[in-house]
Amino acid sequence: MIRQASRSEHEPNLGFELADALHWHPEPDTDLLFSNAMLQWLPGHRELLAGWLDELKPGAHVAIQVPGNFGSPSHAVMRQVADGAAWAQKLSGVLRHDDVVGEPEEYQRLLLQAGYQANVWETTYHQVMVGEDPILDWVRGTALLPVKAALDAEDYRRFEDDYRVQISAHYPSFTGPDGTKVTNFPFRRIFMIGRKLG
């Protein structure tokens, strides 16, 4: 993403830099800190965010979105399968829990206590998914990545099979208007906007 952005046509005052957010700090004159769907990957993101909020100057803005779906069946079923007798030994501690991302009020409190004006809300998008295993296809790019990293190829294929069998009951598919198979995939996201007072 960063490489493509650097190569794209863009305003001359824009620069792009790849960095590990775990070790990143805003420049003192930062006007806006924007983060989309990233904080959930950072262990201890609440403390990191509190540090960034502290470092920003008065008048600076933050705009952040995190997925609020770690308690949804797509993730809860994955944890159940991983905790089952067949996988517990190999996958112990690999998957994160449903509190990996906080509730909206937690982020609201964080912003307010850091001296920010806060506007926090959540939205559930009812995504229309297509294909035979749409939920599995989706989580392959996100929540399943740590499982894939922890297992060899054959075990990972077997884990996917176990997950596939269980997950379809939670997301029944039906026939859409043009005869294709469609599935509803509710996806909750948490948004926060803040401006530092003072």
Ligand X SMILES: C[S@@+](CC[C@H](N)C(=O)[O-])C[C@H]1O[C@@H](n2cnc3c(N)ncnc32)[C@H](O)[C@@H]1O
Decide if residue 48 touches ligand X (CB under 6 A).
no
Choices 20-28, 104-112, 131-139, 181-189 (CB under 6 A): range interacting with ligand X = 20-28
Decide if residue 156 touches ligand X (CB under 6 A).
no
- For residues 172 and 190, give the distance between their C-alpha atoms in angstroms, rounded to a whole number: 25
- For residues 82 and 88, give the distance between their C-alpha atoms in angstroms, rounded to a whole number: 6
Decide if residue 42 touches ligand X (CB under 6 A).
yes
In this structure, are residues 60 and 31 in contact, taking their beta carbons and an 8 Å threshold?
yes
Residue count, binding to ligand X (CB under 6 A): 9
- Dihedral sign, Cα of residue 66, residue 105, residue 193, residue 61: negative
Residue 42 C-beta: closest distance to ligand X, Å: 6
Decide if residue 22 touches ligand X (CB under 6 A).
yes
- Dihedral sign, Cα of residue 56, residue 40, residue 109, residue 187: positive
Residue 89 C-beta: closest distance to ligand X, Å: 27
Decide if residue 36 touches ligand X (CB under 6 A).
yes
Decide if residue 187 touches ligand X (CB under 6 A).
no
What's the half-sphere exposure (Cβ side, CA atoms, 13 Å) at 169?
Answer: 5
State the residues that interact with ligand X by CB under 6 A: 1, 20-22, 36-38, 41-42
